């Protein structure tokens, strides 16, 4: 418990101040405070509370069922182009905000996914999620979406390779969170 | 969202039938990880909510608009990096900006940084990757987003 509090030494004060701020905004009928809660905070909170617990359950199941050897073989160090393709596919079919990618990245890494593929996964996750593409095409057009994705893919593969090399050279680790 | 929930529920049921103990262990493991990161998530979305309060549509138009020139790219990259918007808000907003005269290449920079760079989510990312790796990834992604925007600027209006 002490370690938990220490780890979140900035988080709890922020949460407490916010609760006080919102509480007094309602008490004194302060418009901006009410708006921040109703329009912004509630939207993000809903997104988080609907997506993340489900995702973490999936992560937990994946953790106990999928053996390390299998992950290592398909997306590990020696997996080459096929491995890159697989992590990209995995990222594309997901939904959720950027921070939902990090626990998955931790799990993949723990199970033997190569660092390059971990970083390609994160970039791919942010670039082109299929559920979001329908939105993008609807509001910005097919030409925009296709061009953006085609230009972005080589850029994020390059970022993945650079990050992977850095990660290995410095013997970095991914933590449980 | 709903497909993910249905998919997970099905998996949980199948997993439970095959091995009850393992399933419970997996769910416990997952939810424990969620609770561990929850305070950081909450404090980050609080900060984002407050920042977003100050970033209105009018504010964006002023910085990304037609007459803004090179400055528009820089503003798009900076605003995109700082804010975090779910897609169902970001795309309608981007559509509105395009209709109001903001160029597609500026929008490409905005969308790319919005998604790949997360300055406000650094506290969450750093819990997993450590602060140094997190900063390097965000800086590289920022540069990457500028490249994407520049290439878009050259190609989009050519074809």
Residues A111-149: tens digit of each pLDDT = 999 999 999 999 898 887 777 888 889 899 999 999 999
Please indicate, yes or no, if residue B50 is contained in any of the structural domains: no
Same-domain check for residues B64 and B39: no
Structure tokens at B124: 């969450």
pLDDT attached to residue A12: 92
Establish if B48 belongs to a structural domain. no
* B76/A contact by beta carbon, under 8 A: no
Please tell me the predicted confidence (pLDDT) of residue B68: 64
- In this structure, the answer to whether residues B66 and B137 fall within a common structural domain is yes
Distance CA B21, CA B15 (A): 10
Same domain? B13 vs B87: no
Smallest CA-to-CA distance from B20 within A30, A118, A164, A61 is with A61
B32 with B59, same domain? no
| B47 interfaces chain A, CB cutoff of 8 Å | yes
Dump pLDDT digits (tens) for B98-139.
888 888 889 989 998 988 898 999 999 999 999 999 999 999
Pick B129's closest partner by Cβ from A44, A52, A174: A174
Q: Answer yes or no: do A159 and B141 touch at CB < 8 A.
A: yes
**Is there a single domain that holds both residue B64 and residue B127?**
yes
Residue B3 covered by a domain: yes
Is B108 among the domain residues? yes
Q: Is B111 left (phi over 0), alpha (psi -120 to 50) or beta?
A: alpha
Same structural domain for residues B28 and B64?
A: no
**Which residue among B53, B116, B152 places its CB closest to the CB of A40?**
B53
Q: Which three-class secondary structure string do you get for B19-71?
A: CHHHHHHHHHHHHHHHHHHHHHHHHHHHHHHHHHHHCCHHHHHHHHCHHHCHH
Q: Is the pLDDT of residue A78 over 70?
A: yes
Structural domain boundaries, residue B105 = 55-155
Q: Where residue B40 falls among pLDDT bands split at 50, 70, 90?
A: very high
Asked if B77 reaches chain A (Cβ–Cβ under 8 Å), the answer is no
Residue B49 lies in a domain: no
The per-residue pLDDT of chain A, averaged, comes to 89
Q: How confident is the model at residue B23 (pLDDT cuts 50, 70, 90)?
A: very high
Between the CA of residue B28 and those of A61, A64, A65, B109, B115, what are the distances in Å?
9, 11, 14, 40, 30
Number of domains in chain B: 2
> Using CB atoms and an 8 Å cut-off, which of residues 109-138 of chain B contact chain A?
111-112, 115-116, 118, 121, 123-125, 127-130, 133, 136-137
Task: Please tell me whether residues B29 and B62 are part of one structural domain.
Answer: no
| B100 and B138 fall within a common domain | yes
pLDDT above 70 for B1: no
Residues B24, B86, single domain; the answer is no
CA angle B126, B132, B136 (to 5 degrees): 100
Judgement on whether residues B89 and B114 belong to the same structural domain of the protein: yes
My answer on whether B81 and B20 are in the same domain is no
Q: Give every CB contact of residue B143 below 8 A, 6+ residues apart in sequence.
A: none
Q: Are residues B32 and B69 in the same domain?
A: no
List, in sequence order, every beta strand (DSSP E) within chain A: none
A80 pLDDT tier (thresholds 50, 70, 90): confident
């Amino acid at each position: 418990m002490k370690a938990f509090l220490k780890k979140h030494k900035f988080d709890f004060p922020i949460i407490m101040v916010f609760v006080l701020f919102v509480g007094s905004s309602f008490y004194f009928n302060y418009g901006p405070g009410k708006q921040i809660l109703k329009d912004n905070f509630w939207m993000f909170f809903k997104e988080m509370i609907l997506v993340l617990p489900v995702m973490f359950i999936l992560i937990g199941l994946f953790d106990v069922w999928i053996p390390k050897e299998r992950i290592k073989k398909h997306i590990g160090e020696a997996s080459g182009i096929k491995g890159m393709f697989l992590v990209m596919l995995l990222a594309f079919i997901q939904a959720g905000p950027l921070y939902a990618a990090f626990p998955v990245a931790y799990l993949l890494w723990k199970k033997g996914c190569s660092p390059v593929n971990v970083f390609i996964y994160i970039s791919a996750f942010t670039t082109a999620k299929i559920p979001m593409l329908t939105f993008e095409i609807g509001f910005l057009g097919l030409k925009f979406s296709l061009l953006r994705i085609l230009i972005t893919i080589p850029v994020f593969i390059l970022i993945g390779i650079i990050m992977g090399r850095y990660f290995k050279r410095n013997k970095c680790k991914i933590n449980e969170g | 969202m709903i497909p993910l929930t249905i998919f997970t529920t099905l998996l949980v049921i199948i997993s439970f039938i095959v091995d009850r103990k393992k399933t419970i262990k997996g769910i416990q493991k997952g939810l424990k990880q969620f609770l561990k990161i929850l305070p950081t998530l909450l404090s980050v979305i609080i900060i984002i909510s407050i920042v977003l309060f100050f970033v209105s549509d009018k504010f964006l138009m002023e910085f990304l608009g037609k007459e803004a020139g090179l400055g528009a790219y820089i503003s798009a990259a900076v605003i995109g990096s700082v804010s975090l918007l779910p897609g169902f808000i970001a795309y309608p907003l981007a559509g509105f900006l395009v209709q109001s005269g903001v160029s597609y290449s500026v929008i490409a920079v905005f969308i790319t940084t919005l998604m790949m760079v997360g300055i406000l989510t650094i506290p969450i990312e750093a819990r997993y990757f450590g602060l140094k790796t997190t900063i390097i990834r965000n800086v590289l992604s920022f540069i990457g987003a500028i490249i994407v925007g520049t290439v878009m600027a050259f190609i989009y209006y050519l074809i």
